[in-house]
Amino acid sequence: MFCGDSPNPRNPRLYHRYEQASAARTGDAGRYWTWAAEPCATWPAVAATRYFGPWNRPTAPILVVGTAYGPSTPYSNARAMSEELANARLLTNTGYGHTALLNPSRCVNAHESRYFIDGTLPRRGTKCAEDTPPF
């Protein structure tokens, strides 16, 4: 899915330019993900039904979980995504680490469970703390 569903450049020579642009925006994480996608330049297939947007069409409720102090997925991106999607709600994990899965929060887990079971979104502005701070 990574290569077949994403709009990665088909020309391998372009990845050096994309690496520089990504690094300017997101540091080393940008470099990493640029080069992680580079094999897609020569991937032999593309999904027949790729979706390129628009992303603001009404859908079923979408839960976006953003970690305030994540090292590789900036919280600002979670906020921007939740604003772009038509029917999304941002749940803030006030902890550290990459995703709430790697530094768990019973509060986040409870909201995720309610969402997956019956589609219930948390109230706007809901924040959850991690169970055990790393420091």
User: How many Å apart are CA 45 and CA 29, to the nearest integer?
Assistant: 26
Within 10 Å of residue 42's Cβ, how many Cβ atoms? Answer: 10
Half-sphere exposure of 70 (CA within 13 A, CB side): 22
Rg (CA), the chain: 17
pLDDT for residue 70: 81
pLDDT tens per residue across all 135 residues of the chain: 788 888 888 899 999 999 999 899 888 888 998 999 999 999 998 888 888 888 888 889 999 999 998 877 889 989 999 999 999 999 999 988 877 777 789 999 999 999 999 999 999 999 999 998 877
Interaxial angle between packed helices 28-37 and 15-26, expressed in degrees from 0 to 180 and rounded to the nearest 10: 150
pTM above 0.95, yes or no: no
Residue 56, pLDDT score: 87
Residue with tokens 């997101």: 26
Question: How far apart (Å, rounded) are the C-alpha atoms in residues 61 and 106?
Answer: 21
pLDDT at 96: 87
What pLDDT was estimated at residue 118? 95
pLDDT given at position 46: 83
Report the C-alpha gap between 119 and 60 in whole angstroms: 8
pLDDT at 54: 87
Helix (H, G, I), strand (E, B) or coil at 101: helix
Cβ pair 26, 76 in contact under 8 A: no
What does the pLDDT read at residue 113? Answer: 96
The answer to whether residues 22 and 34 touch, using CB atoms and an 8 Å cutoff, is yes
Q: Tell me what pLDDT residue 83 has.
A: 94
d(CA 7, CA 110) in angstroms, rounded, equals 34
What is the reported pLDDT for 48? 86
